[in-house]
Chains A and B, each alone.
Chain A
Amino acid sequence: MKGGEFSELNPDADGVRPEPCLETRNLSLRYAGNRRALNKVRLTIPRQRVTALIGPSGCGKTSLLRCFNRLNDLVDDCVITGRVRLEGKNIYAAKVDVTELRRRVGMVFQKPNPFPKSIYENVAFGLRIRGIKSRRRLDEIVQESLSAAALWDEVKGRLHKSALELSGGQQQRLVIARTLAVAPEVLLLDESASALDPISTLKIEELISELKKNYTIVIVTHNLQQAARVADYTAFMDMGEMVEFDTTARIFTNPVKRRTEEYITGRYG
């Protein structure tokens, strides 16, 4: 962590300059067939803030997000160059334990994807993977996680019912609880509210604002209002490039680049 890199993050609305959590330098990504999804992306994600990635479809937002937990590793013939650092450590280094990385960097997907198991077992899944067997400890963490995801009161009477019986919004909060259960540092939300009804979306947004006290959150969204509502910082991407990154207020009121302004005002994208 060099001192100079702090300057990339402008002070937030309260005038506090946050510390960096995730940083990318020169990050490029090519899929099979030489399709370039990311081109020399330079981005610094602030710790315990909400950062929104916006941009037109196919601009590389999701590809970037999936670089943070190395989920792109599963894609055949996907070539990644450049560096991604989590708390100053390169996560693409040879000796990195990918499963540990994925525990630290949790991800919530666009569509709710609970396992076809009970609510309880969904939340306990990551814990059982880690070898936690104590019933008391499992109960404790399951309750904590469900509470943190604002779902506990709705499901506490039916923990052992199938997760598939929940509504879409509840399922998405269950997935968030499942991710929180393994105590991650970063939460990646990939358009996680886009498949939900307005009330559920609102609940998720409230939850995000609540969670940022403890977690670094990165959301990908197509919904500019949503980005304006919940994000502290916003990054605008286009054609695999990082066009502009600043506090949300500045991006939405006084963008530097013309492309950003055109996108924000709806003339482009």
Chain B
Amino acid sequence: MKRSLANWLDSGAPWVWINAGAATLCLAMVFGLLLLLGVKGLGHFWPQPVLQATYTGAEPPASIIGEVAASETIDADDLYPATPGEEQGEIERQLLKLGNRDITGGDFAWVLTGLLEDVSYPPELAVIERREWGNLYGYLNGLRQAGAAVLPVGAQDGTGEARWNELHSRLDRARDLRREIERIERSIIADINFGMERLRLEERQLVLAGGDSAGALRENARQRESFDAQYAEIRLRLLELNRQIQRDTALFRIADGSTVEIPIADIVRAHRPNGMDWVESTRVYFARLIEFLSGNPREANTEGGLLPALYGTAMMVMLMSVIVTPLGVVAGVYLSEYAPRGWLTRIIRVSVNNLAGVPSIVYGMFGLGFFIYLAGGEIDRLFYAESLPAPTFGTPGLLWASLTLALLTLPVVIVATEEGLGNVPASLREASLALGATQFETLWRVVLPLARPSMLTGLILAVARAAGEVAPLMLVGVVKLAPSLPLDTQFPYLHPEQQFMHLGYHVFDLATQSPNVEAAMPQAFATAFLLVAVVTALNLSAVVLRGRLRERYRAMDTGAWA
């Protein structure tokens, strides 16, 4: 027996088992993480049933309506004072999302499951997602148009289905009006603002330059008048649209029996989850998911979408790649191919490797001090003197964030490039040189093409790191809520000086900075899941790209090669 154990140890099998075990553990952790984020994040969009019950724990017993957000079992001693010698056992309690924050003050409450009585799930109970104040739970009680009650056309009973359908047709109308308002605000008014700002800056430039500028100023004043006239006209149109959109209101009977009236324009989505089959549930699920991916955040980021964060993250990573790739590759090529092998090169190489270990917040400090205050401030003084004291580049923004992250990821690209160049067999270099190629021709035609896949791997790693980085970004350009996207239809289209939103920071903000923690939680999970998905997608696309390059390289071998 002893002999066979020794044999087993000698065979090397234990090592294989240990290695396989470690690999399995890693995989389990990765998939476990993805599963947790996926279930918690993506499950949040599925419509949950809404219960109505009488809560006898309150004095007097209250009628409540809400969704179960969480449930747990706690020690009864935590709730009631313990009596010596008496075992109280455990108690189950549930976290209910009660909504109606504007009426009741809080929208979440813990209730003891045992004290809920007459629990029912009435199919006509409605969930109203609103632009403000979170969800409203209640029964649709009536509709009003300009203060007068509306009886739906063709309704036999004047209640129920017909009223619900009428609500939806009025919701559609409000949505169309809102789209029109947003279009006007985003394009026409933005154009006017942009033009007015340009005029103001031109005037300041003229004043700063001195000299005779009366003619130019007159021309500016004329343009300003035309802008003012345009604006007055648009304002009237907006007022009219706003009046129209406020026309309809809906009445809801809520849990305590009272009736509330809310403008239909404030409703994002209305559905009755208890009465929905899975087709309808799926429809609501995807509508919410699409809003999450393509909409703007609402309610201090706890509701709505995160398109700006997604967009900002992608823009920053792209800008960073454009900066870091040439810089890193050129530096790597120099260090590996041309730098004389001496102590100075060794010191540089060690420094580059150590840069990869510098805490990222230090890069953030450097970016703030060097890029923003020094470089940005200087740019403002030289090129944007007319808009001072308001800074243009001397303030955190997309460009500085990208530059800071480019610096942060530079070592990764340099090291990968050097590694790739070092892996090219010396025999191939010698072959090329022996044919009369210069060192540069050898580098360009033989060595670099072979090192390309490993350079791309370096870029992949850099991108993955940058997309997930948060700490330095907080100093150099990321904000909780950005008013506009860094790339839009306003000249000059790309706004590298603007602040932007970022998925990683969004997660931080939701998880720790939200005023309504319970409401923010699912959104935080969903955002974290999206962040992981984005990083994975970026990596995958880079892997695919690398595979393509390899293929093209192979194809290039068989065709003309220039």
Contacts and interface: CB of A to CB of B under 8 A. Distances in A.
**Does B bind A?**
yes
Interface of A: 69, 71, 74, 76, 99-100, 102-103, 106-107, 109, 111, 113-118, 121, 125-126, 128-130, 160-162, 175, 178-179, 182
A156 to B, nearest CB: 15
Given A71-B430, A102-B434, A162 B557 contact: yes
A117 B437 contact: no
Nearest to A106: B434
Contact of A109 (B427, B436, B450): B427
Contacts of A179: 434-435
Interface in B446-486: 446, 450
Given A99-B436, A117-B556, A179-B435, 10 more contacts: A99-B437, A100-B436, A107-B434, A109-B434, A113-B431, A117-B557, A121-B561, A126-B435, A129-B435, A129-B437
Given A71-B430, A115-B428, A175-B431, A103 B561 contact: no
Q: Which of A102, A161, A162 has the most CB of B within 10 A?
A: A102
B441 A129 contact: yes
A130 B433 contact: no
A199 B387 CA distance: 82
B431 A116 contact: no
A13 to B, nearest CB: 31
B2 interface: no
Contacts of B435: 102-103, 106, 125-126, 129, 178-179, 182
A121 B441 contact: no
Q: Which of B428, B431, B450, B562 has the most CB of A within 10 A?
A: B431
Interface of B: 341, 425, 427-428, 430-438, 441, 445-446, 450, 554, 556-559, 561-562
A160 B438 contact: no
B67 to A, nearest CB: 61
B436 A182 contact: yes
16 contacts: A76-B341, A99-B438, A100-B436, A102-B433, A102-B434, A115-B428, A115-B431, A115-B446, A125-B435, A125-B437, A128-B562, A129-B435, A129-B441, A162-B557, A178-B431, A182-B436
A124 to B, nearest CB: 8
A103 B425 CA distance: 21
Contacts of A116: 450, 557
Contacts of B341: 76
Given A113-B425, A113-B430, A125-B445, A102 B558 contact: no
Contacts of B562: 128
A160 B559 contact: yes
**Secondary structure call for the A interface:** mixed
B156 to A, nearest CB: 79
Nearest to A104: B436
A128 B435 CA distance: 11
Q: Which of A100, A125, A130 has the most CB of B within 10 A?
A: A125
A40 B208 CA distance: 80
A140 B445 CA distance: 22
A195 to B, nearest CB: 12
A69 B557 CA distance: 28
Contact of B436 (A102, A111, A160, A161): A102
Contacts of A117: 556-557, 561
Contacts of A118: 557-559, 561
Contacts of B556: 117
Q: Which of A115, A160, A162 has the most CB of B within 10 A?
A: A115
A108 to B, nearest CB: 8
A128 B441 CA distance: 10
A182 B445 CA distance: 17
A69 B437 contact: no
A59 B428 CA distance: 25
A116 B427 CA distance: 12
Nearest to B438: A99
Contacts of A113: 425, 427-428, 430-431
Contacts of B428: 113, 115
A86 to B, nearest CB: 14
A130 B430 contact: no
B436 to A, nearest CB: 4
Contacts of B445: 125, 128-129
A115 B430 CA distance: 11
A128 B557 CA distance: 14
Contacts of B559: 118, 160
B425 A126 contact: no
B559 to A, nearest CB: 7
B558 A69 contact: no
B432 A125 contact: yes
B558 A129 contact: no
Contacts of B437: 99, 125-126, 129
Contacts of B557: 116-118, 121, 160, 162
Q: Nearest 3 CB-CB pairs, A to B?
A: A103-B436, A113-B427, A160-B558
Nearest to A113: B427
Contacts of B431: 109, 113-115, 175, 178
A109 B432 contact: no
Contacts of A161: 558
B436 A126 contact: yes
A172 B354 CA distance: 44
A128 B446 CA distance: 13
Contacts of B427: 109, 111, 113
Nearest to A107: B434
Contacts of A99: 436-438
A160 B556 CA distance: 10
A109 B428 CA distance: 10
A117 B436 CA distance: 18
Nearest to B341: A76
Contacts of B554: 162
Contact of B433 (A71, A114, A121, A182): A71
Contacts of A129: 435-437, 441, 445
Contacts of B558: 118, 160-162
Contacts of B438: 99
B492 to A, nearest CB: 41
A182 to B, nearest CB: 6
Contacts of B430: 71, 74, 109, 113
A150 B435 CA distance: 20
